[in-house]
Structure 1
Amino acid sequence: IFQEYIAGKLKKDVNCLTKPKQDALADEVFHQNKTSKFVDYIEPYESRKSRMLNRTKARDRLTMSQIFALPSKYSITKKDDDEFGITAVLSLYKRTGLAKRWIESLLAQTHPPKIIWIVYFASPIESKIDAEISEIKMWLNQTGQSVILNVNKGEMQLKYFGRFQIALQSKTKYIVIFDDDCIPQKRFFEACLHTINTVEYRGILGTKGTPWSENHFYGPVSGSNTITEIDVVGGSWFMEREWVKLMFRDKMLTWETGEDFQICANARKYGNVRSFVMPVDNSDPSTNGFTTDYIGISYGGDTNGQVQNHRLNLKLAQFERSDRYMDSYLREEKTVMIFVEDRKTAKELLKLYKEISQLSIDIALAVHNKTDVSLDLDELKEIINFKFFNDFMIGKEYNSNISEIAQAAETMYHFDMALQQTQSTALIVMGSRASQISLAVVTASKILNLPVVNFYSQTTSDYYSDMIQKLAFYNVLLDQNNVVQQNEIDKFNKIMHDLF
């Protein structure tokens, strides 16, 4: 009946008493006016939360033998295929006596790399490393080893990022970048290629790693015997070459340190690429990404202690901007996200919510650019104490007046991460003070099938506010004094009760 009604094929028949009822029903179902007496279907909170969990829950922790049992596009018989070619990047700085040991380890891999790059920038022991590399080249010539060995060095201090910048120009599909204290065992590349070519664990693979809080270290220190999805990996980064460029997708918050946080956070945000610490396999150490003297090597030339303040500031900035951390899915508190575009809207919307809402749930507040909005968070928290705050920093990457499309696209990326981080399952906006940025947030919510509650005023109507009103799950009307009438308050609280 509906199909024929839409196509206009139903003929009027005075003798058919059910036809007017059918027309009325069809018209009501397909009517787009939000004043319809038919209420939109409300997806239960448990269903929305379940979908969020499916997107954010950490992968199962498997041992290396269990991972090898998973289907993979790779097998060791394909080690000579270009499709599985590897470039290994070894970064040296101030540890001596390791270069030849490293080359021997890389060439002894059951799946050896096609290309080896050694990099060292502004090293205080450059002459000693030069001598070690000269010895390696002589040894390679004498033994007839077949490998492409390139050396990149210079006076410019590129710190922790130079090796990743060079990796951008790798010609193989896979790239692995090493700290010089994580010397891999002979089956490490084989284990990584098998893992990264499974459906479940296609991501950045590291020798060690930590949650955002850096309160526990998986890998050689803890001896964790399962693959572990984690916020940040280090020691080594085994990944597809195309993922390296994601590291430089955002404006760098610091060049002093934090390459591990930058690559992992941006890979999650822009590539939906997860990060994993490879298992420590005591039953078969040949798959490990480190040697038994790892601790001794590490303490012999560690530089992390000099940059801890920079790492902390970077983490806090990334957290405010939005990033999904591995334990975010464990949040059980019900949360709604409120998105605002300016200081006035923030104050009015938070006051309105506090005055009319009868629901006790967590609030996540988000803005596109805190500098533009000129928010005073302490002032806003006096109105209502929100649990999370996210500043998407839109436009800061380019220091230019980016286009409306670019602003909308950037907003969607950060908004999605903020939803995952806060586990928000609904959105509140004020559409009557909207631009393309609010429209982008509402559109993203519709793509994710999350309900949008829109506060709007009949005295304000433009393209963006009209579009948001059409896309919203429910619209709350403000009168000419920006006051919500009691009947609207009752409807709002019923909707929020049904949503949560």
Structure 2
Amino acid sequence: MEPGEITYGVSVILNIYKRPYFEEQIEAILSQSLPVENVIIIHNEDYIEIPEDIKTSIKSRHSNLYFIESEFNLKYFARFHIAASLETPFVYIIDDDVIPTPGWIERCYHACIELGAIISGTGRCLEDGCYSVADSKISTDTFVGDMINPKFNCIRDLTQVDYACSSYFFRREWLDYFFRYTPLMLNNGEDIHLSASCMVAAGIPTFVLPQNEFDSSNIRIHYGGDSMATWKKNKFFAQRKDIIKYWIQEHGWIPLRWTKDKIVV
């Protein structure tokens, strides 16, 4: 940020693991129409080497840009622990395959305030009585935001979803609800945990914003289809089914399209 620049109290957290897109992603973050206050880059393990000159160049573009180097893979939930240690009122966490257009964070900021909701570019809505999207019909009613076009996230209408995917804009204070509940597991389901905990504890919904090619949460959908994609790993959907059952049966979470007679406790 430049001295005297207006701050909107938004911190961004992104991670580097095995995908080589971090420079493009950082460029997208630093080019946002709404200036962000902090950029936290979590570098997990050493699969991607970042030369010191590139790191220095990146840090020179923002006064509050930080690298967290970890020889241990901090995985998914650690991003939310780091978010809880920040002082900004808003946090935007994105996966390493997400490249937003320049106005995206600004739209998330206003929508989060106006709707009192977690904001994302994609999300999922479970079918009635269904514990996993893998067991659902492939449709834009279930897979929201990333099913219409293979190149970029897009959707015509503002849509409430059961849980967000890939990117999460929210008020930092809502992490009180996130940490109120013990995760069923730490290697999957942080997205479900965020939306479900906020809904159960405080009635905070999750919404996917309307998008098009020129105003999108992600203009590189194909990055998420590579060999590193977690959804391609064994047990991914089976684990998520267990997580959803855990939230429904142990904490009373009710998916949007579920009818009461389908809920078994």
Task: Give the TM-score normalised by the residue count of structure 2.
Answer: 0.83
Shift of 1:90: 0.6
5+ residue gaps, structure 1, are 1-78, 336-361, 363-386, 391-500
Is the contact made by 1:206 and 1:236 (CA closer than 8 Å) also made in structure 2? yes
- Residue 264 of structure 2 aligns to a residue whose secondary structure is strand
Match of 2:118 among 204, 212, 219: 204
2:168 corresponds to 1:237: yes
Shift of 1:139: 5.0
Corresponding position of 2:249: 320
Corresponding position of 2:151: none
Corresponding position of 1:288: 216
Post-superposition Cα deviations, 1:281-313, rounded to whole Å, max 9, x if no partner, equal 24xx1x31111x322x11223122222221111
Query: Which of 1 and 2 has higher RCO (CA within 8 Å, sep 6+)?
Result: 2
Read off the aligned partner of 1:261 and give its amino acid letter: I
- Residue 130 of structure 1 aligns to a residue whose secondary structure is coil
List structure 1 runs of 4+ shifted beyond 4 angstroms.
Answer: 79-82
- Residue 158 of structure 1 aligns to a residue whose secondary structure is coil
Superposed counterparts of 1:274-423, under 5 Å: 274-282=205-213, 285=214, 287-291=215-219, 293-295=220-222, 297-300=223-226, 301-306=228-233, 307-321=236-250, 322-328=252-258, 331=259, 388-390=263-265
Corresponding position of 1:129: 49
2:181 corresponds to 1:181: no
Rounded to whole Å, the distance in 1 between the matches of 2:122 and 2:230 is 16
- Residue 389 of structure 1 aligns to a residue whose secondary structure is coil
Shift of 1:241: 0.7
Q: More helix by proportion, 1 or 2? A: 1
Is the contact made by 2:164 and 2:195 (CA closer than 8 Å) also made in structure 1? yes
2:13 corresponds to 1:93: no
Is the contact made by 2:121 and 2:218 (CA closer than 8 Å) also made in structure 1? yes
Corresponding position of 2:157: 226
Is the contact made by 2:248 and 2:263 (CA closer than 8 Å) also made in structure 1? no
Question: Max radius of gyration: which structure?
Answer: 1
5+ residue gaps, structure 2, are 127-131, 137-141, 149-153
Shift of 1:134: 4.3
2:64 corresponds to 1:148: yes
Read off the aligned partner of 1:325 and give its amino acid letter: P
Is the contact made by 1:100 and 1:136 (CA closer than 8 Å) also made in structure 2? no
Post-superposition Cα deviations, 1:350-372, rounded to whole Å, max 9, x if no partner, equal xxxxxxxxxxxx6xxxxxxxxxx
Shift of 1:119: 0.7
Task: Give the TM-score normalised by the residue count of structure 1.
Answer: 0.46
Read off the aligned partner of 2:95 and give its amino acid letter: D
Superposed counterparts of 1:351-500, under 5 Å: 388-390=263-265
- Residue 316 of structure 1 aligns to a residue whose secondary structure is helix
Is the contact made by 2:32 and 2:105 (CA closer than 8 Å) also made in structure 1? yes
- Residue 269 of structure 1 aligns to a residue whose secondary structure is helix
Identity %: 24
- Residue 182 of structure 1 aligns to a residue whose secondary structure is coil
Match of 2:80 among 143, 164, 171: 164
Residues matched between the structures, number: 241
Corresponding position of 1:489: none
Let me know the Cα RMSD of the aligned residues.
2.1
Compared with structure 1, are the counterparts of its residues 80 and 203 closer, same or farther at alpha carbon in structure 2 (3 Å cutoff)?
Answer: farther
